[in-house]
Structure 1
Amino acid sequence: MATNTATQDHPEITLTRRDGLKLAGLGLGSVAALGVGVGGVRAVTNGAFSAGSGDPYDLWHDWSSMTGIERVAAAGVLACNPHNTQPWRMIVDGDTIDVHSDPSRRMPLNDASGREHFAGLGCAVENMVIAAGSAGATSQVTLFPHGPASDHVARIALRKDRARQDRDLAAAIPHRHTNRGPYTSAPVDLSGFTEQSSRIEGANVLWIAEPTTREQLGRLYVEATKAITADTAQSTEAFSWFRSARSSIDKHRDGLTLDAQGLSDLALFAAKLLPAQSRTDGDAYWVKATREVHTATAAAYGVIVVDDVTDRSAQVNGGRLLARMHLTATALGLGLHHMNQITERIDRDTASGNPDVFSARWAALLGRPASGGLLSFRIGHPERTPGLSPRRSLDDVVAG
């Protein structure tokens, strides 16, 4: 899921809030000196000393000790989802969980077709299925029980069973985080994903690891990123989900943050000392990071493919498979970073009536029609561990 943030990553980072301060020229003593006075106040305000702790992060730390239906519902809240909008509402009634879309969390400019929104709901559904299975319960999932136009996306009926399954994936739930940092040059053995690739009916994974095709796809990602940043309305909408100050994180408990950008410890600390970056400066850095980090260090790309990317059930099922891919990557010690700039531009141009400049090239690289490529991501061996993303509490999203 595309990452339009106020700060991005670089393998040998020269992070700036206005792309002028070069950390390579800052010694540790200089950075420490910035920690006093105004810089020190900013460090506290921006959470330099409280990253990954406090109420917005409690669910990551508490999940493993939870039990019963609460544990299952919490697994859904911890699922990967586009731009960390957390698009779900849940109703728990006995052993049944009803998953509803929250339309207020749609991004109509960056996700004009709704594919990311409903895929994120699918990720939540599958996280709950996996959590329930590891506890010895089977899940009967019914998609759109009141029809595809309804916000009632799924009903999960749980039934106790002796068999326990998906234990490795369930164990990965509290450790799964999108890794936007640099990856090493080591190749990835994709055979570890084979078992999961066909687990969700109607969705599959297409891998792009051949160097030439991978490089061509990387260039297309960069071009799409530039197109998003050149579209003021699309860029502004995405930037509205960036939470810079700790007070904003505590208030919203969603969106993208500095902590989740895969920065080195030194770069992250310095970023929190400096004044907040503007949208245009953040966009420029995002383009640079996409070119010099994200595409430059991707060992392979994965694309979730379905029959029709506009079909709501296909979107949800694609998200269900994406959740399995991300948890599998986590269990294997791999980094995974959702990258949907290309499809976001395809949908944006289609909705705006503009010429579609990406579908034909997207289809050529996939070897199939663009209408089948739902979501995409890069994968590799990460150089560093990503930070936690904020999450809303169960009380915020679950009724029952």
Structure 2
Amino acid sequence: MANDTVTDEPPETAFTRRDALKLTGLGIGSVAALGVGVGGVRAITNGAFSAGSGDPYELWHDWASLSGVERVVAAGVLACNPHNTQPWRIRAAADTLDVHSDPSRRMPLNDASGREHFAGLGCAVENMVIAAGAAGLTTKVTLFPDGLASDHVARIVLREGGSGQDRDLAAAIPYRHTNRGPYKSTPVDLAGFTEQSSRIDGARVLWITDGAARERLGRLYVEATEAITADTAQSAEAFTWFRSSRGSIDQHRDGLTLDGQGLGGLTLFAAKLLPAQSRKDGDAYWVKATREVHTATAAAYGVIAVDDVTDRTAQVNGGRLLARMHLTATALGLGLHHMNQITERIDRDTAAGNPDVFSARWAALLSRPASTGLLSFRIGHPERTAGLSPRRSLDDVVTG
């Protein structure tokens, strides 16, 4: 799969998208004036006037009008997944859906153990189970029907006669988006998650709500983010999944975009008027946002825990539970933001033979071995509406 070119050096102009944060004090008229000439061309090229519309986003808008197996499969394609790599290939028959891993969508440096890749596949499986259940179908899920070494991750058999459960979660599918913006200081009532927390065998949710523990975890997130950005190879791999222009979004229909960074409307528009930022500028912004927004405004953190984070079945089941947590948050009007920097660094250091500087502190925060903390996220009452992520079409990922 082709990726965007990695640029280590700053653009020719010293004025980058990071400087867009300064534009919030200029006023709407001044920012609008930047849309003339070269800036206007950039605004169009970078999608300043087409955010959330067009082919890469049509599945979000069309899902509610779909029906039958097509609706169930589309729910899988709209599932949450780390880095928006969309790691799935789906074979659809009249009553059977086979979910396969797409190895070309692995991130071997940022996801050295494959936990995020297979958890993302689990998210797709569970979204399809939820959509099928709400449509009055029963589902039988078999994980790795051809063995753990196979790319055949799951088989979902559909039957008539379901009870119509999970309607609230299914209704949330087209509205579920990762919210990376600031959250309000209002505490979160976790009672609404109780019913879903035990729905997947072998996976559970650990909540971190105590103020002191949240501060310690926040500092660990910042340190892990700094470690990722200081690791040139790991940072460069992540940057290849950033879609900086509308043309790149239309071409790939995956990855992360400016629209998904949680910026305010004026700042986001201004950012799209400016030249594409370098990897180094992007990393600097990520560290700053992790310190000043993501960890500073998290009302609570959740950790998906399993018996062994290296077990493929546990990874898939952890993803299945994560999908339920994200849809539940959406149904409750909460923002959820996947934050896996700590576990990414643990896996990266292990694979590279580096000293393990995070596992002991991760374990202390979890009050259990680090080998049980699969994935993590923050939640809270969002100040801003999350942007839509691009999605590949059904034709791109589904075969008959």
TM-score > 0.5 by shorter chain: yes
1:50 paired with 2:50, answer yes
Distance 2:24 2:51 in 1: 23
Deviation at 1:21, TM superposition (A): 6.1
Change (3 A) 1:27 1:79: same
State the SS of the aligned residue for 1:269.
Answer: helix
Deviation at 1:24, TM superposition (A): 3.6
Distance 1:69 1:94 in 2: 7
Partner of 1:10: none
Letter in structure 2 aligned against 1:367: S
Letter in structure 2 aligned against 1:84: N
1:94 paired with 2:101, answer no
1:185-224 Cα deviation digits (max 9, x unpaired): 0000001000000000000000000000010000000000
- TM-score (ref. length: structure 2): 0.95
Partner of 1:357: 357
- Give the unaligned 5+ runs of structure 1: 1-5, 7-14
Distance 1:41 1:316 in 2: 44
Partner of 1:9: none
Identity of aligned residues (%): 84
CA contact (8 A) 2:20 2:267 kept: no
Deviation at 1:351, TM superposition (A): 0.1
CA contact (8 A) 2:21 2:267 kept: no
Partner of 2:188: 188
Distance 1:192 1:106 in 2: 34
1:288-339 Cα deviation digits (max 9, x unpaired): 0000000000000000000000000000000000000000000000000000
1:166 paired with 2:166, answer yes
CA contact (8 A) 2:122 2:319 kept: yes
Distance 1:24 1:31 in 2: 9
Deviation at 1:228, TM superposition (A): 0.1
Partner of 2:292: 292
CA contact (8 A) 1:214 1:300 kept: yes
1:146-157 mapped onto 2 (5 Å cutoff): 146-157=146-157
State the SS of the aligned residue for 1:140.
Answer: strand
1:69-108 mapped onto 2 (5 Å cutoff): 69-108=69-108
State the SS of the aligned residue for 2:272.
Answer: helix
Distance 2:21 2:318 in 1: 41
CA contact (8 A) 2:89 2:398 kept: yes
Distance 2:198 2:161 in 1: 23
Aligned residues: 387
Partner of 1:244: 244
Letter in structure 2 aligned against 1:234: Q
1:244-263 mapped onto 2 (5 Å cutoff): 244-263=244-263
CA contact (8 A) 2:262 2:386 kept: yes
1:343-362 Cα deviation digits (max 9, x unpaired): 00000000000000000000
State the SS of the aligned residue for 1:153.
Answer: strand
1:144-167 Cα deviation digits (max 9, x unpaired): 001111000000001111411000
Distance 2:282 2:262 in 1: 15
Deviation at 1:30, TM superposition (A): 1.1
CA contact (8 A) 1:83 1:255 kept: yes
| Farther-moved stretch of structure 1 (207-216 vs 154-163) | 154-163
Distance 2:310 2:181 in 1: 31
Deviation at 1:20, TM superposition (A): 7.5
Deviation at 1:29, TM superposition (A): 1.5
1:23-55 Cα deviation digits (max 9, x unpaired): 243221210110100000000000000000000
Distance 2:21 2:264 in 1: 16
Distance 2:23 2:158 in 1: 52
Change (3 A) 1:326 1:241: same
Deviation at 1:18, TM superposition (A): 4.2
Structure 1 vs Structure 2 CA RMSD: 1.1
Distance 1:379 1:18 in 2: 25
Partner of 2:17: 17
Distance 1:27 1:320 in 2: 44
Partner of 2:305: 305
- TM-score (ref. length: structure 1): 0.95
CA contact (8 A) 2:24 2:266 kept: no
CA contact (8 A) 2:138 2:162 kept: no
State the SS of the aligned residue for 1:273.
Answer: coil
Partner of 1:141: 141
CA contact (8 A) 2:31 2:270 kept: yes
